[in-house]
Amino acid sequence: MKYNSKMPSPGLFSKDDTELFAAMCKALGHPARVMIINYLKKIDRCFCGDIVELLPLAQSTVSQHLKSLKQAGLIKGEVEGPKTCYCLDKPRLEKFILMVEALGRSIQP
């Protein structure tokens, strides 16, 4: 979507924050990727192969999902020999939580 001058202030987020937030949500917008995040939260760190065992998906597909999550900044991966070890990017996740709370809290239910 391209912005133009008709859009002074779309809401509570800046444009950058809107883009960032949408990108993070998009990365979480697939069950496999939600499971990966959940799994990483549970076990802290793991290799790509562990996730391939966990999910009913081909290795190449899992690798793609990991790439999406990494590009959105939600996880980090570092090469350890022939393997790659993934873990959550905790500061980034924290920022995501804060944005969700900003979006939703102080709503009177």
Partner DNA sequence: CCAAATAATCGTTAATCTACGATAAACGAT
Partner DNA sequence: ATCGTTTATCGTAGATTAACGATTATTTGG
Residues near its own copies, by CB under 8 A: 1-4, 6-7, 10-13, 18-19, 21-23, 25-35, 37-39, 41-42, 53-57, 88, 90-91, 93-94, 96-97, 100-101, 103-105, 107-109
Task: Decide if 77 contacts 86 (C-beta within 8 A).
Answer: yes
3-state secondary structure of 75: strand
Footprint of DNA on 50-79 (CB under 7 A): 52, 56-61, 63-68, 77, 79
Query: How far apart are alpha carbons 7 and 32 in whole angstroms?
Result: 35
For the chain, the residue count is 109
Nearer of residues 80 and 101 to its own copies, judged by Cβ: 101
Phi, psi of 46 (to 5 degrees): -160, 170
Interface residues with DNA (CB under 7 A) are 1, 26, 29-30, 32, 47-49, 52, 56-61, 63-68, 77, 79, 81-84
